[in-house]
């Protein structure tokens, strides 16, 4: 087969890399530029401490939004790869850090300590990878009824918080946005926090990354089933989206596998021993990802396909898999325990950020 002619015939512009993470979209935009220059209209603040990487991305105008593929707004991302080891001490540190950063996020939006909040847990509780939202609601501290029924008995340091887990369209027959809008009209919260499962372009970020955005959310967008968006424009109040990537698509895994194999072989050719079968000399995912494969090596191993950019290779894989129905949505087999841990971590952190009287040490005493 003439590979060069075949790739020319494929429309590589129709498929885009699936990701809900602004951090990944920013990295993709930088890769397209081919140089580490800043992106006009986009500001980024990043720091790493104690195994947690914190990234703030501000998209200030439409030019930056078009370049990255995200709407203008503020995006906060926390990455802690070792969360997948189920380290309880790390989970505690991440929860405390998330609480502190979320409190700063509320300050950025000028949301005061007495503003009322509606928590919305999006997703299908019967599908494990999509159950993050409903599980967060189970661990959330709700107080609105106390403010309504016994306001004199509510101590200082709490705010009115209500919660809703509306289910999915396939079960209720009602658009999620319609349910939430009806509740908002009746209860009139000052702002909304929506929790949902997301999709990532990297398996290494699944169940180890938390994103917060002030741009709202489209339920089901992570797996390509976009419903009507939950945004300030549609609901009339600010909507903060909190999500964790729990799935990737098969094309992403195939693309990463090709790159890992190329990196491994390239390292071997250059005398860098990284046999993944050798437990004493195993290359980490970071080492394989950061290794720059020379264009000559890539072309020699993959022919004309090796000359494609990273984005073009990913798009080509999707062009092949999509018509065959093989671009499946994939989640790790450990998702059952991961999803429960992440839901409890996020709920505890949000409880602390919303209520000044709640800390990680006394959080469990507030729940039944």
Instruction: State how far the alpha carbon of 173 is from the alpha carbons of 8, 43, 178, in Å.
Output: 44, 41, 11
Q: What is the per-residue pLDDT for 259?
A: 78
| Cβ(139)–Cβ(95) below 8 Å | no
Q: What is the per-residue pLDDT for 48?
A: 92
Q: What is the per-residue pLDDT for 330?
A: 83
Under the banding of pLDDT at 50, 70 and 90, the label for residue 221 is low
Q: How would DSSP label each residue in 177-239? A: HHHHHHHHHHH--SEEEEEEEEE-S-GGGTTTEEEEESS-B-TTGGGT---S-B-HHHHSS-E
Mean pLDDT over residues 289-317, rounded?
Answer: 71
Q: Taken in order 231, 60, 117, 80, is the CA torsion positive or negative?
A: positive
Mean pLDDT over residues 33-42, rounded?
Answer: 73
Look at 299 and 355; give whichever has higher pLDDT: 355
pLDDT in tens, 128-168: 999 999 999 999 999 999 999 998 888 899 999 999 999 98
pLDDT at residue 29 greater than cutoff 90: no
Q: What is the per-residue pLDDT for 17?
A: 57
Mean per-residue pLDDT of the chain: 83
The CA distance from 78 to 304, in Å, is: 38
Mean pLDDT over residues 176-188, rounded?
Answer: 95
| Cβ(278)–Cβ(286) below 8 Å | no
Mean pLDDT over residues 115-138, rounded?
Answer: 94
Phi, psi of 164, deg, nearest 5: -150, 135
Block residue for tokens 């029924």:
149
HSE of 207, CA atoms in CB hemisphere, 13 A: 25
Mean pLDDT over residues 317-336, rounded?
Answer: 82
Block residue for tokens 């990234």:
55
**What pTM did the predictor assign?**
0.82
Q: What is the per-residue pLDDT for 4?
A: 36
Q: How many residues does the chain have?
A: 368
Give the residue range(s) of CATH 3.40.50.1450 domains in the chain.
22-251+330-366
| Cβ(241)–Cβ(53) below 8 Å | no
Beta strand residue intervals within the chain, DSSP E: 42-49, 52-59, 73-79, 117-121, 161-164, 191-199, 209-213, 239-249, 329-330
**Lowest-confidence range among 79-83, 197-201, 274-278?**
274-278
Look at 112 and 13; give whichever has higher pLDDT: 112
The helix/strand count (H/E) of the chain reads as 14, 9
Mean pLDDT over residues 229-242, rounded?
Answer: 94
Q: Under CATH, which architecture does the 22-251+330-366 domain have?
A: 3-Layer(aba) Sandwich (3.40)
């Amino acid at each position: 087969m003439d590979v060069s002619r075949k790739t020319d015939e494929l429309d590589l512009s129709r498929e885009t890399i699936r990701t809900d993470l602004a951090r990944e979209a920013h990295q993709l935009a930088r890769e397209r530029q081919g140089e580490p220059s800043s992106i006009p209209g986009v500001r980024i603040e990043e720091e790493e401490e104690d195994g947690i990487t914190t990234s703030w991305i501000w998209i200030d105008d439409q030019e930056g939004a078009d370049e990255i593929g995200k709407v203008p707004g503020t995006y906060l991302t926390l990455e802690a790869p070792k969360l997948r080891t189920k380290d309880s001490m790390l989970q505690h540190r991440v929860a405390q850090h998330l609480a502190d950063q979320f409190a700063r996020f509320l300050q950025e939006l000028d949301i005061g300590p007495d503003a009322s909040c509606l928590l919305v847990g999006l997703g299908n509780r019967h599908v494990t990878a999509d159950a993050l939202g409903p599980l967060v609601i189970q661990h959330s501290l709700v107080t609105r009824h106390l403010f309504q029924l016994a306001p004199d008995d509510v101590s200082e340091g709490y705010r009115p918080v209500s919660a809703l887990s509306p289910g999915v369209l396939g079960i209720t027959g009602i658009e999620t946005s319609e349910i939430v809008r009806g509740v908002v009209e009746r209860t009139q919260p000052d702002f909304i926090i929506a929790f949902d499962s997301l999709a990532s372009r990297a398996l290494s970020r699944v169940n180890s990354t938390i994103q917060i955005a002030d741009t709202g959310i489209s339920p089901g967008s992570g797996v390509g089933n976009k419903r009507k968006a939950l945004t300030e424009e549609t609901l009339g109040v600010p909507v903060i989206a909190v999500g964790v990537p729990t799935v990737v698509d098969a094309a992403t895994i195939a693309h990463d596998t090709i790159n890992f194999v190329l990196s491994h072989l390239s390292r071997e050719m250059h005398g860098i021993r990284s046999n993944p079968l050798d437990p004493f000399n195993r290359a980490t995912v970071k080492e394989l990802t950061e290794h720059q494969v020379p264009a000559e090596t890539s072309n020699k191993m993959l022919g004309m396909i090796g000359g494609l950019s990273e984005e073009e290779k990913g798009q080509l894989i999707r062009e092949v898999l999509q018509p065959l129905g093989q671009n499946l949505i994939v989640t790790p087999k450990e998702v059952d325990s991961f999803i429960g841990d992440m839901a409890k971590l996020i709920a505890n952190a949000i409880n602390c950020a919303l209520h000044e009287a709640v800390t990680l040490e006394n959080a469990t005493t507030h729940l039944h």
